[in-house]
Structure 1
C-alpha cells in the first residue's frame, strides 16, 4: 500500500501519465529536428518524421498501459489526492485502449490525406495525459487541470485539417462550448468549496455525510454546476448541440478520439464524483440525472432517423449512447458503475472501428451519404461484414458486446428501481434499430451507383487497416458470446471505490446501494 508519504509515491502512482507527457515532448522534438522523409499522398516513407512519431506514440501508450496494469494490486489511503483503486485501473485500460486503437486506425487516414503526424501525435498524447489525470484525480482542482489539458489539446486537434473550413468551424464551436463548460465547472468547484470547506473529494464526502456542509442551497448549486459542466463534456441533452457539427467537421481520427476517449474520460469523472464521493448529496442531483438520461436517450435517436450523412448519424448515435451510460449513473450502485465501464469499453472499440470504416469506404465512393453506400456489401464483403457487426453492436443486437453492455445497464437500472429509465432504454434502442439497419439495407439490398469503386485507393499499409477493423468486429462478437470473464473482472475491480478515511458510509447509505 502506498501511503503517499513521499514524492516518490506520487510519481509512481502517476507514472502512466508521466510517460505520456514525456513522450509528447519527444514527439515534438522529432517533428522539429528529424529529417522530413518522403511524405506524400501515398503515406510517409519509413524513417520519416511521421513514421517515427507514430512508433514513439504507440510505444508510449503501450508502456503507459503496462505501468497502469503494474499498479493493479497497489492501494492508497482513501483520502489521498490520487486514487489507487480498481475503478481507476479499469478506466485507464479503457482510455489507453481507445487511444491505441485510434492511433492505429489513423494511419489509413494519414496515408489517404497526407496528414502530418508529429503535431497530431503530440497533441493526442497530451490529451491522453489529461484523461489519465482525470481518472486518477480525487481533488476537484486536479480534476479540472486534467479536463482542461484534455480539452485544449482536442480543441486544436478538431481544427487540424487547416485547409478544410468545416474543420476550423468544428474547432471554434468546440472551443466556445468548452469554454462555457469550464466556467460552469469552476463555479461549481467554488460553490462546493464554500459548502464543504475543501476541494478534496473524500473530505467533501465526509462533510456532507456528517451534516457539516454549509447550507443545502450552496451544496445544490455546486453539484448542479458540476453536472452542467460535465454534461457538456459527455454531450448530454440539452448540452449536446456542439457535437454533430464538431464530429462531422473534424478529421476522422479526431472524431473517433472525441467520441471515445473524451467521452470515456468525462464519464469516468461523472461516475466517481456522483456515484461515489457525492453519493450523500444524491437528493440534489438524482432528479436532474434522471431527466438528462431520459432526454439523451430519446432526442438524438429521433434526430438520427433523419440523417443521410453517416458520420453525422454516428455523431447523434454517440449522443444517444451517453444517455444509456447515464442510466448507470442514475442507478448509483456498484452494478451501475461496473455496467457503465463495461459499456464504455465496448462502445469505444465499436465506435472507433465503425468511424474508421465509414471514412475508408467513403473515400472510394466520393461521399459518405447513405446512397453512396448502396451495393457495397457485395463489392467489399469483408469490410462490409465488419461494418455490419459494428453497427449491430451499437444497436444492441445479440450476440455482440453492445447487447451485453445494454443488458448490464438495464439490470442495474431495474435493481435500483429506475423502471422508467429502463423502459426508455429499451424503446430508444428499438428506435435506433431503424437507422442502423437502414445502412445494412443500402449495402446489401440496393444496387451500387455507377462508377463507384467501393473502397479507398490501394495504399501502403491498407492491409493492416483491414486486419484491425476485422479484428475489432471479431472482438465485439467474442465479448458478446463470452462476456463472463470480462464482467467478473470489471465487477471485481470496481467493487471497492474508497470514499473517506473512516469508512464507506455516506449519509447512512453504503456506497453502491440505492438509498
Structure 2
C-alpha cells in the first residue's frame, strides 16, 4: 500500500509544482517518488501483506511492480529535450503517467475482481488523455478517440464477465472463486463459463492480442512517442500480470475449458503480429505490430500451467520492456533531428551516432530472440514451458513466426550500417545515455544470467 500512496502523492506534488510554474522541479520530484516506491518494493519483499481482502502485496505483485516502476523511471528520464520550451502541459504529462502507474500497481496486486476493474480504469483513463494530449495534432486526436472507444468496449466485456462470475459464485474474492471451482467441479453454474470467456476477451483487448488488436497500430503511431513507449512496455507488463494472477491462479481448475480459445488467440496473435510487421515502412508502427506478436509469446505461459509460469513471464516481460525502451529512446532522438519515424530516418546512424546504433542493434537482436540477449532467454523459457506438455506443433509454429520476426528487426540494422544517410551529427543527451546504457546492461545481463530474476516469485 505504501507503494501506491507514494506514487499518488508524487503525482499530486508534481501537479502542484506545475501549477506554480516550477518546471525544473518536475523531473527531480518524480524521480524521488519513483525511487522511494522502489525502496518500498525492496523492503516489502517476502512480507506477503493483504489489505482488507482487496489487495495482496506478495512477491508476485512486488516483482511486477518493481519492473513497471523501473520502466516508468527510465521513460521519465527520456523527457530530456523532449518537450518544446514553450510547452505548458509538462506537469500534466508527468501527473497522468504517475496516476496511470498507480492503477498499474493495483492491477498487479489485486485480490478482488472489483480492484482489477478499478486498477484497469485508473490506468486507462489517464492513457486516453495522454494519447490525445497534443490537441493540435490530428493523429494524436485520432489515437485518443480510437483508444477511448475500444477501451470502453473492452471494459464492457470485462464488467459483464465479472458480473457473471459474481452471479455464479456470490463473491468477487479470488480465493472464494477458486474454492468454488474446486468444491463444485461437477456442478459449476452455467453462468460461470461465459464469464471466463468474457474476462479473457476483455484482458486480450488490454494487452493487444489478436483478434482484439485493431486499436494498437493506430494508437501507438498517433500517440506521442513517450506515451507509446509507456503503453508498449509498462502497460503491457501490467496486463499480463493481471492475466496470470486470474487465469493461472483462480481459473486454473478450468484450464481444459479455456485452453482451446486461448490457443486460437495465441496462433492468431503470432501470425497477424509478425506477418503484418513485415510490410511496415514506419518504425513506430512496426514496433506496434511487434508488440502484438510478443503478446502471443507471453500467452504461452498460460498454455501449460506450471510452477514457473509467473517467473517465465517476469523474465520475458523484463526482456521486452528494456529492449523496447531502447528502441523508443533512439526513435525519439532520431525523430527530433529528422522529423520522421520511417526506417529511412535511421539510414547511416552507425556513422552519425555509433553508441545509439550499437544499443539499438542489441535491442533489435533481443526482440528477435538472438542468443546472449534477454529476449532469447524469454522465448526459450516460453517454448520450454509448452514443450513440457508436448505441444510440439505450437512450438514449431511459434519458431516459424520468430524467423519472420528476424527479417523486420534486421531491416533496422541494415538501415543503420549499410545505407547512406544525411551527414547530420546526432548527439545523445546525458539522460538518454544513462537510460540506453542501463537498459543495454540489463538486456545483456539477463541474457547471460536469467537466474537472477528467474526464481524471484
RMSD over equivalenced CA pairs, Å:
1.9
1:28–1:366 Cα change, 3 Å: closer
Deviation (angstroms), 1:107: 2.3
Deviation (angstroms), 1:319: 0.8
Match of 2:5 among 18, 21, 40: 18
2:43 corresponds to 1:81: no
Corresponding position of 1:453: 424
Instruction: Give secondary structure in 1 for the equivalent of 2:13.
Output: helix
Bigger relative contact order, structure 1 or 2 (CA pairs below 8 A, ≥6 apart):
1
Distance, in Å, in 1 between the alignment partners of 2:134 and 2:51 is 44
| Equivalences for residues 47-446 of structure 1 within 5 A | 49-76=22-49, 80-110=53-83, 114=87, 116-211=89-184, 215-446=188-419
Deviation (angstroms), 1:113: 8.7
Distance, in Å, in 2 between the alignment partners of 1:470 and 1:228 is 38
Distance, in Å, in 1 between the alignment partners of 2:299 and 2:315 is 13
Match of 2:440 among 445, 450, 473: 473
Corresponding position of 1:29: 16
Distance, in Å, in 1 between the alignment partners of 2:127 and 2:277 is 25
Deviation (angstroms), 1:69: 1.7
The superposition leaves residues 251-281 of structure 1 with CA deviations (integer Å, 9 ceiling, x where unpaired) of: 1110000001111111111000000111012
Distance, in Å, in 1 between the alignment partners of 2:214 and 2:400 is 23
Larger radius of gyration: 1
Q: How many residue pairs end up in the alignment?
A: 457
Match of 1:482 among 446, 449, 452: 449
1:244–1:213 Cα change, 3 Å: farther
- Please say if residues 339 and 408 of structure 1, whose CA atoms lie closer than 8 Å, have aligned partners that are also in contact: yes
The superposition leaves residues 119-158 of structure 1 with CA deviations (integer Å, 9 ceiling, x where unpaired) of: 1111111101101111111100011001100000111111
Match of 1:463 among 405, 426, 430: 430
Distance, in Å, in 2 between the alignment partners of 1:348 and 1:106 is 17
Distance, in Å, in 1 between the alignment partners of 2:377 and 2:40 is 29
Deviation (angstroms), 1:425: 2.1
Distance, in Å, in 2 between the alignment partners of 1:113 and 1:419 is 57
- Please say if residues 54 and 117 of structure 1, whose CA atoms lie closer than 8 Å, have aligned partners that are also in contact: no
- Please say if residues 312 and 378 of structure 2, whose CA atoms lie closer than 8 Å, have aligned partners that are also in contact: yes
Deviation (angstroms), 1:484: 2.8
Distance, in Å, in 2 between the alignment partners of 1:452 and 1:485 is 42
Instruction: Give secondary structure in 2 for the equivalent of 1:236.
Output: coil
More displaced 10-residue stretch of structure 1: 434-443 or 471-480: 471-480
Corresponding position of 1:505: none
Distance, in Å, in 1 between the alignment partners of 2:161 and 2:425 is 50
Instruction: Give secondary structure in 2 for the equivalent of 1:83.
Output: strand
TM-score normalised according to structure 2 size: 0.96
1:383–1:265 Cα change, 3 Å: same
- Please say if residues 311 and 453 of structure 2, whose CA atoms lie closer than 8 Å, have aligned partners that are also in contact: no
More displaced 10-residue stretch of structure 1: 85-94 or 414-423: 414-423
Deviation (angstroms), 1:321: 0.5
Deviation (angstroms), 1:111: 5.7
Deviation (angstroms), 1:463: 2.5
Distance, in Å, in 2 between the alignment partners of 1:119 and 1:214 is 51
Distance, in Å, in 2 between the alignment partners of 1:337 and 1:146 is 20
More displaced 10-residue stretch of structure 1: 17-26 or 268-277: 17-26
Instruction: Give secondary structure in 1 for the equivalent of 2:202.
Output: helix
Deviation (angstroms), 1:187: 0.2
Which runs of 5 or more structure 1 residues have no equivalent in the other structure? Answer: 1-13, 37-48, 495-515
Distance, in Å, in 1 between the alignment partners of 2:131 and 2:366 is 27
Deviation (angstroms), 1:375: 1.8
Deviation (angstroms), 1:163: 1.8
Deviation (angstroms), 1:297: 1.1
